[in-house]
Chains A and B, each alone.
Chain A
Amino acid sequence: GAVVSQHPSRVICKSGTSVKIECRSLDFQATTMFWYRQFPKQSLMLMATSNEGSKATYEQGVEKDKFLINHASLTLSTLTVTSAHPEDSSFYICSARDPGKGYEQYFGPGTRLTVT
């Protein structure tokens, strides 16, 4: 089946620094990827839709200047958390749909971000 990977799986950074998370579709091309954030014991919250070759579409309340999304190729989207603060600590998950396989969306394993 379609596989989506994320890197790193876990990252710790200091407050005020930036951190980049990669999302890759390993065996299919994804024109669109999605980024979610999940706090402990809560649901996944959609942050933005990442579109290959164009600007990301952010959900209401998500700061686009803080969460920079780049979808430079059909297999890679990156999320950069800029000027990270402890409240940005969360589990970040990406997903993508394989256009050749119908409606199912494939999720990455997630990235645990801890800001100290």
Chain B
Amino acid sequence: GESVGLHLPTLSVQEGDNSIINCAYSNSASDYFIWYKQESGKGPQFIIDIRSNMDKRQGQRVTVLLNKTVKHLSLQIAATQPGDSAVYFCAESGTELKTSYDKVIFGPGTSLSVIP
């Protein structure tokens, strides 16, 4: 099966600071990107997504930036809180999602630790 990465990088931030988590994706044909949050022992939780025809999208306290030129994705979390501590995964999907058969491939993940 497809998989990317064997080790989780770690990011530690002070509570109240902004966090930036980066991700490099591999498939230049991907046109839909998603950020997920995963807490220990649980399934991934959707945070925010972005289509390839956009370069920025904002949600509540989160912003996703997409740079297709260098195949880079980032997640910005404003005013990071202890409850944000988790592993964050970027994921990519390869088509226009016109059918339900499109699969989502996960990146390696980053462990975010918030220091109170």
On whether the two chains bind one another, the answer is yes
Say whether A107 contacts B45, CB under 8 Å.
yes
Per-position 1/0 for A42-62, Cβ under 8 A of B: 111111110100000011111
Interface of B is mostly: loop
Say whether B89 contacts A43, CB under 8 Å.
yes
* 20 further A-B pairs in the complex, CB-CB below 8 A; given A43-B106, A91-B41: A37-B1, A42-B3, A42-B7, A43-B4, A45-B2, A46-B103, A46-B104, A59-B1, A60-B1, A60-B2, A62-B1, A95-B43, A99-B100, A103-B32, A105-B104, A106-B46, A107-B43, A108-B43, A110-B41, A110-B43
- Given A59-B2, A93-B44, are A44 and B97 also a contact pair (CB < 8 Å)? no
Question: How many angstroms from the CA of A30 to the CA of B99 in the assembled complex?
Answer: 12
- Residue A112 is within 8 A (CB to CB) of chain B in the complex: yes
Interface residues of B (CB under 8 A from A): 1-8, 32, 34, 36, 41-46, 49, 89, 93, 97, 100-101, 103-109
Question: How many angstroms from the CA of A85 to the CA of B8 in the assembled complex?
Answer: 26
Partner of B103 from A37, A49, A103 at Cβ < 8 Å: A49
- Residue A32 is within 8 A (CB to CB) of chain B in the complex: yes
Say whether A107 contacts B2, CB under 8 Å.
no
Give the total number of A-B pairs whose CB atoms are below 8 A apart. Answer: 84
Question: How many angstroms from the CA of A39 to the CA of B39 in the assembled complex?
Answer: 14
Question: Chain B's nearest CB lies how many Å from the CB of A99?
Answer: 6
A111 nearest in chain B by CB position: B43
Say whether B6 contacts A42, CB under 8 Å.
yes
Question: Chain A's nearest CB lies how many Å from the CB of B2?
Answer: 6
Q: Which residues of B contact A37 (CB under 8 A)?
A: 1
Partner of B101 from A4, A32, A47, A103 at Cβ < 8 Å: A32
- Residue A31 is within 8 A (CB to CB) of chain B in the complex: yes
Question: How many angstroms from the CA of A11 to the CA of B99 in the assembled complex?
Answer: 34
- Residue A97 is within 8 A (CB to CB) of chain B in the complex: yes
Q: Which residues of A contact B5 (CB under 8 A)?
A: 42-43
